[in-house]
Amino acid sequence: MTELLSNYAAGRWQAGTGNGTPLFDPVLGNELVRVDSTGLDLDETFAFARQQGGAALRALTYRERAALLAAIVNVLQANRDAYYEIATANAGTVKNDSAVDIDGAIFTLGQYAKWGDALGDTRALRDGEAVKLGKEPVFQSQHLQVPREGVALFINAFNFPAWGLWEKAAPALLSGMPVIVKPATATAWLTQRMVRDVVDAGVLPVGALSVIAGSSAGLMDQLQPFDVVSFTGSAETAGAIRAHPAVTHRSVRCGIEADSLNSAVLLPGEAPGSEAFNLLVREVVREMTVKSGQKCTAIRRILVPAEVYDAAAEAIGAKLAGVTVGNPRNDSVRMGSLVSRAQLASVREGLAMLSAHTRVLHDGRDRPLVDADPALAACIGPVLLGARDADTAQLVHDVEVFGPVATLLPYRDSAHAVVLTQRGRGSLVTSLYGRDEAALTRITLAVAGSHGRVHVVTPDVGRAHSGHGNVMPMSQHGGPGRAGGGAELGGLRALDFYHQRSAVQASPTVLAALGLPDLA
Amino acid sequence: MTELLSNYAAGRWQAGTGNGTPLFDPVLGNELVRVDSTGLDLDETFAFARQQGGAALRALTYRERAALLAAIVNVLQANRDAYYEIATANAGTVKNDSAVDIDGAIFTLGQYAKWGDALGDTRALRDGEAVKLGKEPVFQSQHLQVPREGVALFINAFNFPAWGLWEKAAPALLSGMPVIVKPATATAWLTQRMVRDVVDAGVLPVGALSVIAGSSAGLMDQLQPFDVVSFTGSAETAGAIRAHPAVTHRSVRCGIEADSLNSAVLLPGEAPGSEAFNLLVREVVREMTVKSGQKCTAIRRILVPAEVYDAAAEAIGAKLAGVTVGNPRNDSVRMGSLVSRAQLASVREGLAMLSAHTRVLHDGRDRPLVDADPALAACIGPVLLGARDADTAQLVHDVEVFGPVATLLPYRDSAHAVVLTQRGRGSLVTSLYGRDEAALTRITLAVAGSHGRVHVVTPDVGRAHSGHGNVMPMSQHGGPGRAGGGAELGGLRALDFYHQRSAVQASPTVLAALGLPDLA
């Protein structure tokens, strides 16, 4: 029997009482560890986090809580090698892809440690300036943001066991809210290990951070009015979470990041071989292959002027042909495996669905795997699909294949391109490639309403841009509609979700006595 | 047969094809008008608003849309007498109470016209400053707010047919979103009449404003991912709206204002006859009687130090005894009727429930009505309840009686008072009365997390404060938990609900070319 990972709940390590669910190496197929949360007292877990963890965190100032984040960074850095090993074994990712998750997490924590320190030694944040409520300034209104007096539950996705925890926990802990994380089972090991290291290092108040590795049953039932829940994953599960009475009837605040049909757009007038054309090709190939395309921000739809459709297909296909796929332990491998055989089956199913509306422009499935047994490994080569009529290929705008798959689509003019991006019904990100700044700004403003992020690549930032799918903590992560309507990160904007805004109406003397420092 | 009010939908006036639901005079009992929306083509209505209204509004700048609001103010002012007549007839309110609704609406519209004008001739708003995404400033992130490309559906409450429409429509129209309002049937007349006047005056683009007076059936089904819905009313209906697939599965943004168990707190150490004591007594009586207590912000729980419980009961009761109740057309009447006989029955039912945990300290029910027949009129005198053990009187913290009813509760010390305010599980507003500024600020920060607004009354603002239950457009309206989790008003903060935030990542040259004016 493999090791049964413990849960950290109510301030102590607790093993589940069931047999556990096994986690596998998606390349070699062997069982690695097991997780189980059977028998956990959820009433106690949530009450303990709310009372012990919440009270301890709220007793600290923002600057003191920022110091906690900095301490977490130190713990994670000290154990970084172990995380890479777990990622290789449990996620099947090559080193560069593991870095997106692990080093991305550490970088994000570090940013919030820095930003939080600048908030100073205060326990409430000023929201705007005081304004007078009548003709005379004798009675005024000052908005505050204060920590929500509840717990933050994270129900996380399998593709980012490290970053998915810390990009949420950093702003939550900085805001003074205790965190309970339920990682996706397939890759729960890395999340559990990071929490274990942080808990064992004793850098956080007891109750500030808990991990439940196992079943999500009963978690939503625990939520009370001042709690929040943040979910990352499929649109279907998102719907079920939003339909839970905790959200519908107890006003639990709910943040959703769902996958979306993100797009990349080559601007009109960019010929094959132009700098913008080449930048699009490079970015598409990168997005299709990083983490084997298992990123909620990955490019799924490639929109190009109709006249360069064939050239784009050829250029992308040629680069994809050079991508080696297989065992991430082999240095010649550029792209590892999907996270599980179940995901491999799901990707194959998605490809079968899309075949009704597309043809295959490049097929990486027929290439041999490096150092991996196709009967065991969850590996699949990249597949570029294409549809000459972007308007009628409805499935391409609806069905996300969560793997190394994207579809090339031709557009007639920039208005048509904008409409096609919007066919995703709300996406996390779109990226635009071109030289014409007037056209770029016009399209940016046209697509901003349906995208949480617009990433503009001009030749002058060809080397410096941060990447279409790379989620920077400075920028909002989350889009409307199909993307879930959430808003994470974006610097200190992320703190809003974990705060309650309140308008204090009082005399200027009382408002001054609140002792809120001015924010520069 | 009384007049059948028309709906304004898809750019034209359309009568329902059914018999209609009658609206009554709640004092005299006679039928006034009827509403009906049977046969309305909702597909057409919503598509027309989204396409015609939305496109026309988004083509304007913020300054131009602010001018539309100013034009609406002129229309409403010109027809103000008619609105007072409708309010008297259909809501049974005395003139001062009608003013809260009608003049409150006009004031709020005027504020947004002023604030919107200051946003200038732009079509997108800057959200914070650009920040660099790497060590060098060559690639940066600039957040924007852009109008959501959908429709704003308002499902409104019966108690504010005028203000309830315009406090939402002002920020929505300013944001460039077309509005469809479904007023509560009992008082739909005033809403319908105001929309009629504005439409007939031709001051808005066609499709920018629609009114459906009748059934709400099918409205939620119309909503698409970029739409928003704003509901004001009961917690039960709020739950049903949040559970609708439009919200759970299509990510329609949903704002809820539900009634809440608001409180007023007399600070420790304030003796009977002190300025703070007298200010609390005056405000409690005002809140219990304005609009016959039919305000979502009204004081429902009065928290006083245990030693002044009896004195507070006596002082509040003595003032309530002077409140004349009856026909609002009689100048000697201070408090008119409830909005309907159904509401009267609901208030009586609520009083019966609370009787299990309270005793009656002042009973206005046994006083004769002025100029009104108790067998016909929906009038009821104010009732002050009391419970000596605030901790065990659970119903007092759960059951809102939406009428001239409040409960007096004693507390032991300020920590106990804070806990009792939080027993409302999230409220719109609490008000604090006292001289001790240190204590006031301490309690303010302690209750801010569970209240959308904290109203602090010190002796120096005894005349100047804006009132516990009066919703000022400068301050946020909306509280966590039981209060629904919404956030309306609060100056330009209200625009967030009708905008999509998007992070634009680009070179500084491209960001500069977006042409966003700097906000002072």
pLDDT score of B520 more than 50: no
Task: State how far the Cα of B35 lies from the Cα of B161, in Å rounded to an integer.
Answer: 14
Shortest Cα distance from A418 to chain B (angstroms)? 13
C-alpha closest to that of A406 among A437, A425, A376, A382? A382
Looking at every residue in chain A, the average pLDDT score rounds to 97
Task: State how far the Cα of A488 lies from the Cα of A264, in Å rounded to an integer.
Answer: 22
Is B314 catalytic? The answer is no
Which residue's entry shows tokens 């979700």? A497
Query: Quick one: tokens of B417?
Result: 């008072």
Q: What is the pLDDT of residues A340-386, one digit of tens each?
A: 999 999 999 999 999 999 999 999 998 999 999 999 999 999 999 99
Residue type, A420: L
For the segment A38-58, the average pLDDT, to the nearest whole number, is 98
Query: Quick one: tokens of B210?
Result: 């629609």
Task: State how far the Cα of B215 lies from the Cα of A205, in Å rounded to an integer.
Answer: 53
**Chain B residue with Cα closest to A485:** B251
For the segment B147-162, the average pLDDT, to the nearest whole number, is 98
| Mutation to test the A interface, candidates B111, B251, B476, most A Cβ within 10 Å | B251
Burial A460-490 (b: 16+ CB within 10 A, else e): bbeeebbbbbbbbbbbbbbbbbbbbbbbbbb
Task: State how far the Cα of A262 lies from the Cα of A407, in Å rounded to an integer.
Answer: 11
| Contact predicate B161/B187, CB 8 Å | yes
Predicted model pTM:
0.97
For the segment B218-244, the average pLDDT, to the nearest whole number, is 96
pLDDT band with cut points at 50, 70 and 90 for residue A517: confident
What is the 3-state secondary structure of B81-118? HHHHHHHHHHHCCCHHHHHHHHHHHHHHHHHHHHHHHC
Concatenated DSSP letters of A470-511: ---TTSEE--SGGG-S--EESGGGGGGGGEEEEEEEE-HHHH
| Mutation to test the B interface, candidates A51, A250, A510, A516, most B Cβ within 10 Å | A510
| Contact predicate A425/A401, CB 8 Å | no
Q: Assess if residue A518 is contained within a domain.
A: no
For the segment A62-70, the average pLDDT, to the nearest whole number, is 98
**Which ranges of B25-162 would DSSP assign to H, the alpha helix?**
42-48, 54-59, 62-78, 80-91, 95-117
pLDDT band with cut points at 50, 70 and 90 for residue A519: low
pLDDT band with cut points at 50, 70 and 90 for residue A259: confident
Question: Crossing angle of helices B163-175/B188-201, nearest 10°?
Answer: 40
**Which residues on A lie below 8 Å from B501 (Cβ)?**
452, 476, 487, 490
**Which residues on B lie below 8 Å from A474 (Cβ)?**
131, 133, 141
Q: Considering only the beta carbons, identify the residue of A123, A149, A251 that sits closest to B485.
A: A251
Q: Are residues A213 and A281 in the same domain?
A: no
What is the 3-state secondary structure of A227-283? CEEEEEECHHHHHHHHCCHHHHCCCCEEEEEECCCCEEEECCCCCCCCHHHHHHHHH
Element (H, E) at A211: strand A209-211
Catalytic residue among A167, A254, A287, A296: A296
Q: Are residues B153 and B285 in the same domain?
A: no
**Which residues on B lie below 8 Å from A247 (Cβ)?**
242
Contacts of residue B12, defined as CB under 8 A and 6 or more positions apart, other chains included, come to none
Task: State how far the Cα of A109 lies from the Cα of A163, in Å rounded to an integer.
Answer: 9
Q: Assess if residue A423 is contained within a domain.
A: yes
Catalytic residue among A167, A254, A257, A488: A257
pLDDT score of A152 more than 60: yes
Task: State how far the Cα of A310 lies from the Cα of A386, in Å rounded to an integer.
Answer: 10
| Contact predicate A156/A164, CB 8 Å | yes
Chain center to CA of A399? 19
| Contact predicate A500/A146, CB 8 Å | yes
Task: State how far the Cα of A497 lies from the Cα of A489, in Å rounded to an integer.
Answer: 10
Q: What is the pLDDT of residues A131-147, one digit of tens each?
A: 999 999 999 999 999 99
Q: Are residues B461 and B491 in the same domain?
A: no
Q: Are residues A280 and A227 in the same domain?
A: no
Contact B502 A452 (CB under 8 A): yes
Q: Assess if residue B426 is contained within a domain.
A: yes
Contact A251 B484 (CB under 8 A): yes
pLDDT score of A60 more than 70: yes
**Which residues on A lie below 8 Å from B143 (Cβ)?**
475-476, 490, 493
Bridge-partner residues for B457, per DSSP? B433
| Contact predicate B491/B128, CB 8 Å | no
At A35, is the secondary structure helix, strand, or coil?
strand
Q: Considering only the beta carbons, identify the residue of B143, B490, B513 that sits closest to A143.
A: B490
Query: Quick one: tokens of B273?
Result: 């006859």
Catalytic residue among B296, B379, B400, B488: B296
Task: State how far the Cα of A415 lies from the Cα of A426, in Å rounded to an integer.
Answer: 17
**Chain A residue with Cα closest to B512:** A441
- Report the alpha-carbon angle A19-A22-A23, nearest 5: 155
Q: Are residues B303 and B423 in the same domain?
A: yes
Contacts of residue A300, defined as CB under 8 A and 6 or more positions apart, other chains included, come to A260, A261, A262, A263, A400, A401, A405, A406, A407
Q: Are residues B53 and B198 in the same domain?
A: yes
Q: Assess if residue B519 is contained within a domain.
A: no
Q: Assess if residue A480 is contained within a domain.
A: no
C-alpha closest to that of B46 among B190, B220, B191, B167? B220
For the segment B28-46, the average pLDDT, to the nearest whole number, is 98
Q: Assess if residue B83 is contained within a domain.
A: yes
**Chain B residue with Cα closest to A457:** B506
pLDDT score of A266 more than 50: yes
pLDDT band with cut points at 50, 70 and 90 for residue B515: confident
For the segment A486-491, the average pLDDT, to the nearest whole number, is 98
Q: Are residues A214 and A94 in the same domain?
A: yes
Q: Assess if residue A520 is contained within a domain.
A: no
Query: Quick one: tokens of B520?
Result: 């002072």
ipTM of predicted complex:
0.97
Q: What is the pLDDT of residues B173-219, one digit of tens each?
A: 999 999 999 999 999 999 999 999 999 999 999 999 999 999 999 99
Concatenated DSSP letters of B398-461: H----SSEEEEEEESSHHHHHHHHHTTSSEEEEEEE-S-HHHHHHHHHHHGGGEEEEEEE-GGG
Residue type, B39: G
Q: Are residues B465 and B498 in the same domain?
A: no
Q: What is the pLDDT of residues B268-326, one digit of tens each?
A: 999 999 999 999 999 999 999 999 999 999 999 999 999 999 999 999 999 999 999 99
The CA-atom distances, in angstroms, between A25 and each of A28, A90, A266, A348 are 6, 5, 38, 20
**Chain B residue with Cα closest to A240:** B248
pLDDT score of B47 more than 70: yes
- Report the alpha-carbon angle A318-A320-A321, nearest 5: 65
For the segment A411-433, the average pLDDT, to the nearest whole number, is 98
Residue B452 belongs to domain with CATH number: 3.40.309.10
Shortest Cα distance from B22 to chain A (angstroms)? 31
Shortest Cα distance from A109 to chain B (angstroms)? 16
Q: Are residues B232 and B346 in the same domain?
A: no
C-alpha closest to that of B255 among B25, B477, B502? B477
Contact A248 B226 (CB under 8 A): no
**Chain A residue with Cα closest to B234:** A249
Contact A226 B481 (CB under 8 A): yes
C-alpha closest to that of B418 among B443, B439, B387, B438? B443
Residue B50 belongs to domain with CATH number: 3.40.605.10
Is B296 catalytic? The answer is yes
For the segment B379-394, the average pLDDT, to the nearest whole number, is 97
Q: Are residues A172 and A318 in the same domain?
A: no
Shortest Cα distance from B468 to chain A (angstroms)? 9
Task: State how far the Cα of A435 lies from the Cα of A458, in Å rounded to an integer.
Answer: 6
Q: Domain limits at A87?
A: 4-258+485-513
**Which residues on A lie below 8 Å from B138 (Cβ)?**
460-461, 464
For the segment A498-508, the average pLDDT, to the nearest whole number, is 98
Task: State how far the Cα of B187 lies from the Cα of A516, in Å rounded to an integer.
Answer: 44
| Mutation to test the B interface, candidates A133, A142, A151, A468, most B Cβ within 10 Å | A133
The CA-atom distances, in angstroms, between A372 and each of A23, A92, A96, A403, A411 are 19, 11, 19, 18, 39
pLDDT band with cut points at 50, 70 and 90 for residue B1: confident
Task: State how far the Cα of B15 lies from the Cα of B512, in Å rounded to an integer.
Answer: 51
Which residue's entry shows tokens 């205060």? A122
Query: Quick one: tokens of A176?
Result: 């003074």
Query: Quick one: tokens of A458?
Result: 């001009």
Q: Are residues A239 and A302 in the same domain?
A: no
Shortest Cα distance from A325 to chain B (angstroms)? 31
Number of structural domains chain B divides into: 2
Rg of chain B, C-alpha, whole Å: 24
**Chain A residue with Cα closest to B433:** A506
Contact B460 A131 (CB under 8 A): no
The CA-atom distances, in angstroms, between A317 and each of A355, A452, B80, B504 are 18, 29, 69, 29
Q: Assess if residue A340 is contained within a domain.
A: yes
Q: Are residues A322 and A389 in the same domain?
A: yes
Shortest Cα distance from A309 to chain B (angstroms)? 25
